[in-house]
Amino acid sequence: MGKAKKQWRRKLWLWGNVGLNLGILCLFKYFNFFVSNLQAILSPFGIVLDSVTVNLILPVGISFYTFQALSYSIDVYRDKIKPTRDIAAFFAFISFFPQLVAGPIERATNLLPQFLNPRRFDYSQAVDGCRQILWGFFKKMVVADNCAKAVNIIFADYQSMGAVNLWLGAILFTFQIYGDFSGYSDIAIGTAKLFNIKLMRNFNAPYFARDIAEFWRRWHISLTTWFRDYIYIPLGGSRVSKIKIIRNTFVIFLVSGLWHGAEWTFVAWGGYHAALFMPLILTGNNRKYTNEIAECRTLPTMREAAYMGATFLLVAVGWVIFRADNMSVAWQYLNRMFTAWGVRDTMLYGKSCFVWIALLLSVEWVERHRQHAFSIAGNGLLRYRVVRWIVYVVLALICLGFCGISGDFIYFQF
């Protein structure tokens, strides 16, 4: 592609590369989904297709490194980067082990030059990386895995649960998936820092968002910006009519849902978030909050707190759709969340999780202006090395205390 002089040849190379990457992704991840749905559509008309399925083991993280490879090809086509002749650097970019299976989804413009240029060990980067790894383990092993125990019980027996437990299940899963996914991102970014490699930030305190648009500027940033740059903006972005903005928004969110998995629950989850954008688009407020939360203030205003709470609950409802086994379960669970207030729960699940959730939110609020929540600036008592080491050891011991219940990372399946 880089050597092609004529535009049609460059486009041919681009579409060939895109087709190859998406073809492999669709074969492994979506073939059976499309075949089964095509059979369901045609069967009422008396058309019966031979049952053709492909039993392939889904490679871990295929959606992540497929999108990373696509971004390289598109950026070369757009002349944002020159095609590299260093095959080792290219494969290092595609398969850099810390972020290979669950992101962040890196861009060649950021990561590839770091492999091409000589690097030296950076002590301060390595120390900061170790802190970020430790904080990632806390989010995964202490917050996410503790929440998972209660979430699994509630979702497995949701039909007998009252509304209180069902709301608890939704809220706990909201923190489970955040602790799980952002915890992995912290571990990956921190590990990369040990090699003096800087990966992009993937989460920025998303549950402090004041509306759904701000949430998506803070959640899974590498995927959100990927869809923005390679799908949303080429479709016209926000510089078109409101009808087309609505169309573009639904396109990227439905594709985002499908990116997560070959299930209608993921597609519905994407559609739900697109629908939440509609009032913001129609009123022109989809970029209302681009400033820092409670900038130069210790606490948010009452209005900010109310907006954050409302946004959090809307996101939590969406996570129910994401977590459900199928659309029927999602509908029944959501229905009971709002109607089963007369059912008396014999016990409430996951109450102890809120101690760790409170600690997580407190640290993230205090450190919300920094690149990661456990950067620990040298202010106050933390300027003393012994105090910092006490914090490190206590957090490490807490993580070790919960190491026996650790489960797989949720996003490994994507």
* 93 and 151 both lie in a single domain: no
Residue 310 has what pLDDT? 96
Does this model's pTM top 0.75? My answer is: yes
Instruction: Please report whether residue 228 resides in a domain.
Output: no
Statement: residue 214 has pLDDT above 70: yes
| Contact in structure between 253 and 275 (CB atoms under 8 Å) | no
Residue 4 has what pLDDT? 62
Instruction: Please report whether residue 64 resides in a domain.
Output: yes
* 28 and 127 both lie in a single domain: no
Q: Which of 85, 116, 147 is the last residue of a domain?
A: 116
Instruction: Please report whether residue 2 resides in a domain.
Output: no
* 201 and 344 both lie in a single domain: yes
* 157 and 14 both lie in a single domain: no
| pLDDT (tens digit per residue) in 326-369 | 999 999 999 999 987 877 776 788 888 999 999 999 988 888 88
The proportion of the chain whose per-residue pLDDT surpasses 90, expressed as a percent, equals: 44
* 182 and 79 both lie in a single domain: no
* 133 and 173 both lie in a single domain: yes
* 62 and 146 both lie in a single domain: no
Q: Which of 95, 116, 137 is the last residue of a domain?
A: 116
Statement: residue 6 has pLDDT above 70: no
Which region among 34-38, 83-87, 183-187, 189-193 has the lowest average model confidence (pLDDT)? 34-38
Instruction: Please report whether residue 304 resides in a domain.
Output: yes
Q: Which pair of structure tokens corresponds to residue 61?
A: 């993280």
Statement: residue 49 has pLDDT above 70: no
* Domain region containing 360: 123-210+289-405
Residue count of the chain: 414
Packing angle of the helix pair 264-283, 302-323 (nearest 10 deg): 150
Residue 376 has what pLDDT? 66
* 304 and 323 both lie in a single domain: yes
Nearest to 99 by CA among 247, 198, 17: 198
The 8-class DSSP code of residue 293 comes to T
Nearest to 188 by CA among 140, 237, 252: 140
* 175 and 296 both lie in a single domain: yes
* 204 and 72 both lie in a single domain: no
Catalytically active residues, by annotation: 260
* 179 and 206 both lie in a single domain: yes
Which region among 92-106, 147-161, 368-382, 391-405 has the lowest average model confidence (pLDDT)? 368-382
Amino acid present at 323: R
Statement: residue 8 has pLDDT above 70: no
Q: Which of 116, 132, 162 is the last residue of a domain?
A: 116
Amino acid present at 273: H
User: 359, exposed or middle or buried, with CB in 10 Å at 0-12, 13-18, 19+?
Assistant: middle
Q: Which pair of structure tokens corresponds to residue 123?
A: 């002590």
* 149 and 204 both lie in a single domain: yes
Instruction: Please report whether residue 48 resides in a domain.
Output: no
Cβ density class 196-224: b for 16+ within 10 Å, e for less: ebbbbebbbbbbbbbbbbbbbbbbbbbbb
Statement: residue 401 has pLDDT above 70: yes
Instruction: Please report whether residue 189 resides in a domain.
Output: yes
Dist. CA 91–CA 112, nearest whole Å? 10
